[in-house]
Amino acid sequence: MSNEILLLSGPNLDLLGSRNPEVYGTQTLDEHVEHFRQLAVEAGFSVRHVQSNFEGDLIEAVHAARDDAVAVVINAGALTHSSWALADALDTFDGVKIEVHLSNPAAREPFRHLSTLAGSVNGSIAGFGATSYELALDAVRRLTEKS
């Protein structure tokens, strides 16, 4: 088993930096990923990033990670609120799983209050902007040290 973290980014996250900057900030997805990758390397991890606007691609990435990764950090975007299939895929992954959101879904529209993924992950980090990814990495580091 490697020390790889699968970083998953769901639909519309490829538009970060220009889409609703008042909600999601001005950093692009590439900037978030590069910062996460730098911190992960310093902590002894490698990172494989997959972004897709298609649910099946994210599910396939989780399936592939079952043999390669120690953790999945996932910002599923709107699929957070609707994808039972992605939750089922996460259930098959035995490593650490952290759900991440730049904004705080619980403080937004009512349809965003449900996370179909919450029961399939170790924990959720939301509402801290770019710092959410740093907190997720810290959670991965701590949880993988325990196992």
Supply the pLDDT for residue 113: 58
CATH of the domain at 112: 3.40.50.9100
Identify the helix (H) or strand (E) that includes residue 48.
strand 46-51
The answer to whether 24 is a known catalytic residue is yes
Question: Which residue among 32, 63, 81, 101 is the active-site one?
Answer: 101
Q: What pLDDT digit, counting tens, does each position of 30-88 carry?
A: 999 999 999 999 999 999 999 999 999 999 999 999 999 999 999 999 899 889 999 99
Supply the pLDDT for residue 109: 64
Length of the chain: 147
In terms of C-beta density within 10 A (0-12 exposed, 13-18 middle, 19 or more buried), how is residue 25 classed?
Answer: middle
**Number of independent structural domains in the chain:** 1
Percent pLDDT > 70 in the chain is 87
Question: Which residue among 24, 32, 49, 133 is the active-site one?
Answer: 24
Q: What pLDDT digit, counting tens, does each position of 85-109 carry?
A: 999 999 999 999 999 999 877 656 6
Supply the pLDDT for residue 24: 57
When the pLDDT of each residue in the chain is averaged and rounded to a whole number, the result is: 90
The model's confidence at residue 144, banded by pLDDT at 50, 70 and 90, is very high
Identify the helix (H) or strand (E) that includes residue 75.
strand 69-75
Q: Which of 35, 22, 18 is nearest to 100 (CA)?
A: 35
Which residue range(s) make up the domain with 137? Answer: 4-146
